[in-house]
Copies of this chain bind each other. A is one copy, B any other.
Amino acid sequence: MADIIRRMKSADAGFDAALTALLNWEATTNPTVSNTVAGVLAAIRRDGDTALLGYTKQFDGVNADTAAELEIPQARLQAALLSIPTEVREALEKAAERIRSYHQHQRQESWSYTEADGTVLGQQITPLERVGLYVPGGKATYPSSVLMNAIPAKVAGVDELIMVSPTPKGFVNDMVLAAAAIAGVDRVFTIGGAQAVGALAYGTETIPKVDKIVGPGNIYVATAKRQVFGSVGLDMIAGPSEILVICDGKTDPDWIAMDLFSQAEHDEDAQSILLSPDADFLDAVEASIAKLLPTSARADIIRQSLSARGALVLVKDLDEAIALSNRIAPEHLELSFDNAQDCLPKIRHAGAIFMGRYTPEALGDYCAGPNHVLPTSGTARFSSPLGVYDFQKRSSIIGCSAAGAAELAKVASVLARGESLTAHARSAEYRFLPANDAGQESV
């Protein structure tokens, strides 16, 4: 049988280059898609609802006479909540409760302080007013994604959260609507693709313009998001999902194999890597992979993903594994060994850190509490999980007393004149010089 997943050793010559090649991922840009999307966005901006109705008919096969018909009323969301199996509803409610509870810890509060001369400095935190949430339609429709995107926005205090999701040929996913009801989504429209992104970014007669758009989507949605950036805020545009597992060799190899599968089953480009200092354990995991793969519903995708982008890597010790992890900056980092918490100070870059043998990534994907929208492709080096902070923004606060202004104005005047910005200097000088002395152009 051909190897399902590659084996690597950190001690091998050429390991560094091989790892770099394995990790390499670049989003391809497609000029045809870019042009199509630009055309759709321009039409939405120009013709509003008329264009939106046209594209929704063309791309989703949904006929509507008015854009208002594309709104799903709150009563329908509540009906969906009652229509799904009790077990599923309870699981969604439990997950939502834990996600809400965790994210409440992320709320930032305004602060200020007063200096001796009475000058006040601070930072005012305010929620975004209106946010758009994109939810893909069709087969890859994930109610968990609704919870993970919507709840932080509502915890932040966003006034109005507008969800859009296409319903190709009219197919509506009740689990998604139920999740929207539980998360407190304010309005739902059955629109999708670049036209939905455009409607949210620019507003139409019916769809309100939002301040930020979040949520995953296909290449048309991602391209549209890139093109409207600036008019509107965005979450990150995700690459393929990845997991890095570090194991000391004492976790059940079936567990670890399945943890790797849980990432690989997302799509062929997903990446699952295991680091262990125990060669026998890597053999055991490889055997578990071979054993469990045929029992998996999504075996084809898992096989392709593990073959193209997976690896079982023999490392010298756990310290070397952690150093490699810091280089990889994984989206998901699973530390499958005892006392994993002691390692935290050594972890520099990771989207989410799963500690111990009883913390598979799948728990974090659904219900542990932290967000499952995480930085991919090494971007954990500079970015963070989606959070409440993505739906709040800050305003600096400065209130100078007359005495404070006199003191600061002297400094500002010197620096402004050093930069040849004399109006800046004079604006400052007015606050401390007698009128006749201020406003001179030379120092």
Binding site for B on A (CB under 8 A): 27, 87-88, 91-92, 94-95, 98, 102, 105-106, 111, 113, 119-121, 123-124, 126, 128-129, 141-144, 175, 211-212, 230, 232-233, 237, 252, 254-255, 258-259, 261-262, 264-266, 292, 295-298, 302, 340-341, 344, 347-356, 358-371, 374-375, 377, 379-385, 387, 389, 393-402, 404-405, 408-412, 414-416, 418-428, 430-431, 435, 439, 441
- Asked whether A379 lies within 8 Å of B341 as measured between CB atoms, the reply is no
Contacts of A431 in B (CB 8 A): 255, 358, 360, 363
Of the candidates B87, B105, B259, B415, the one whose C-beta lies within 8 Å of that of A113 is B105
Q: Please give 8 more A-B residue pairs, beta carbons under 8 A apart, in addition to A262-B423, A350-B395, A351-B395.
A: A91-B415, A95-B415, A126-B349, A230-B377, A297-B441, A356-B400, A362-B427, A375-B393
Q: How many angstroms between the C-alpha atoms of A408 and B341 in the bound complex? A: 20
Contacts of A211 in B (CB 8 A): 381-382
- Asked whether B415 lies within 8 Å of A367 as measured between CB atoms, the reply is yes
Q: How many angstroms between the C-alpha atoms of A237 and B348 in the bound complex? A: 27
Contacts of A430 in B (CB 8 A): 252, 254-255, 258, 360
- Asked whether A396 lies within 8 Å of B230 as measured between CB atoms, the reply is no
**What residue of chain B has the Cβ atom nearest to residue A384's Cβ?**
B394
* Contacts A91-B415, A383-B233, A393-B382; A427 near B262 (Cβ below 8 A): yes
Contacts of A362 in B (CB 8 A): 409, 412, 416, 424-425, 427-428
Q: Is the interface of A mostly helix, strand, loop or mixed?
A: mixed
CB distance from A144 to the nearest CB of B (A): 6
- Asked whether A418 lies within 8 Å of B175 as measured between CB atoms, the reply is yes
Of the candidates B119, B255, B439, the one whose C-beta lies within 8 Å of that of A427 is B255
* Max chain B Cβ within 10 angstroms of own Cβ: one of A94, A175, A355, A360: A360
- Asked whether A143 lies within 8 Å of B418 as measured between CB atoms, the reply is yes
Contacts of A113 in B (CB 8 A): 105
Q: How many angstroms between the C-alpha atoms of A144 and B428 in the bound complex? A: 15
- Asked whether A370 lies within 8 Å of B121 as measured between CB atoms, the reply is yes
- Asked whether A412 lies within 8 Å of B366 as measured between CB atoms, the reply is yes
Of the candidates B105, B344, B384, the one whose C-beta lies within 8 Å of that of A393 is B384
8 sample A-B contacts, Cβ–Cβ < 8 Å, listed by A number: A91-B410, A143-B419, A254-B435, A359-B405, A360-B430, A363-B408, A365-B424, A380-B393
* Contacts A379-B230, A418-B143; A341 near B399 (Cβ below 8 A): yes
* Contacts A361-B427, A398-B354, A402-B358; A128 near B393 (Cβ below 8 A): no
* Contacts A128-B381, A412-B365, A415-B88; A359 near B422 (Cβ below 8 A): no
Of the candidates B102, B344, B408, B419, the one whose C-beta lies within 8 Å of that of A142 is B419
- Asked whether B396 lies within 8 Å of A292 as measured between CB atoms, the reply is no
Q: How many angstroms between the C-alpha atoms of A232 and B377 in the bound complex? A: 11
CB distance from A180 to the nearest CB of B (A): 15
Contacts of A261 in B (CB 8 A): 423, 426-427
- Asked whether A385 lies within 8 Å of B394 as measured between CB atoms, the reply is yes
Q: How many angstroms between the C-alpha atoms of A362 and B424 in the bound complex? A: 5
**What residue of chain B has the Cβ atom nearest to residue A354's Cβ?**
B398
CB distance from A265 to the nearest CB of B (A): 4
- Asked whether A415 lies within 8 Å of B366 as measured between CB atoms, the reply is yes
Contacts of A379 in B (CB 8 A): 230, 233
Q: How many angstroms between the C-alpha atoms of A384 and B254 in the bound complex? A: 46
